[in-house]
Amino acid sequence: MKELFTLYLTNNQHQNFDLKAVIFDMDGVLYDSMPAHDISWRKTMDEFKLEYIPNEFYLQEGMLAKRTIDKIFQRNVGRDATTEEEKKIYARKSELFQQHNTDGAMPGARETLEYVRGEGLTTVLVTGSAQPSLLNKLDSHFPGAFKPETMVTAFDVKHGKPHPEPFLMGLQKGGNLKPNQAIVIENAPLGVEAAVKAGIFTIAVNTGPLSDSVLTDAGAAVVFRSMTALREAMPEILNLARTARA
Ligand code: CA
């Protein structure tokens, strides 16, 4: 794995890492919520008689809801959704998501956050989600890990993933950090793309149905099969980040 760290430093013209924070995506990383998102989107689109492609909601995971809806409208009816259509669709999807979501934390997520914090690093959240009372929910599952000052949500950004904006804001919220002062943990190709565009070393955790190559093609330095596997590798990852030189 060492060469992946060296390669990142060389490609991004850094001498070394100066690790201060680990930035976590939420759905599919901290929560096992993607199956509920996926079925809620599919049921909603079926109800509105809009067709979608296989794995569409995994491939577009992380995108702001408006863009996901517009993409499907463009393909089905050749135009963006109106604000009213978008509101109706998103309201229905959110309603279904509440029914399907079990609020289950991803196995290994809590342990990973605790380990990272125990190593003296800041934990930052970057999510495209617009769920209300996100902070209360996060704090009950992952006590003390995130504060409003260290969270970027759909309410904070204009563009959303795959644009680098959410992760650039994550660096800011992590303490005005430079890209080589953080590592990103993502599960979705567009999230990986956004983090890589922000210049950050990006680790993927493949917790969904897509193949690993979709994540490496998006720019992930390395792909783990689960958060539990990531937790096990975390000491090595932090050690490499602390010792790697270009
Ligand atoms: Ca995600």
Q: Structural domains in the chain?
A: 2-32+104-243 (3.40.50.1000), 34-100 (1.10.150.240)
DSSP character at residue 176: S
- 25 Cα–ligand 1 center, Å: 6
- Judge contact between 99 and 196, C-beta under 8 A: no
Q: Measure the CA–CA gap between 128 and 118, rounded to whole angstroms.
A: 27
- 28 Cα–ligand 1 center, Å: 5
- Judge contact between 1 and 183, C-beta under 8 A: no
- 15 Cα–ligand 1 center, Å: 30
- 219 Cα–ligand 1 center, Å: 15
Measure the CA angle with vertex 99, ends 98 and 105; round to 5°: 65
- 26 Cα–ligand 1 center, Å: 6
Whole-structure pTM value: 0.94
Give the per-residue pLDDT at 129. 85
Strands 122-126 and 21-24 turn out to be: parallel
- 190 Cα–ligand 1 center, Å: 9
Q: Six-digit token pair at 118?
A: 């125990």
The phi and psi torsions of 188 (rounded to 5 degrees) equal: -115, 145
- Residue 20 CB coordination number (10 Å): 19
- 188 Cα–ligand 1 center, Å: 5
Find where tokens 């491939």 sit. 59
Q: Measure the CA–CA gap between 38 and 148, rounded to whole angstroms.
A: 27
Q: Six-digit token pair at 212?
A: 């690993």
Q: Six-digit token pair at 126?
A: 């970057």
- 205 Cα–ligand 1 center, Å: 9
- 186 Cα–ligand 1 center, Å: 6
Put residue 237 in one of left, alpha, beta given phi > 0 → left and psi -120 to 50 → alpha.
Answer: alpha
- 29 Cα–ligand 1 center, Å: 6
- What type of residue sits at position 90? Y
By residue count, the chain amounts to 246
Q: Measure the CA–CA gap between 216 and 204, rounded to whole angstroms.
A: 8
Low-confidence ranges of the chain (pLDDT < 50): none
b/e sequence 113-149, b meaning 16+ C-beta within 10 Å: bbbbeeeebbbbbbbbbebeebeeebeebbeebbeee
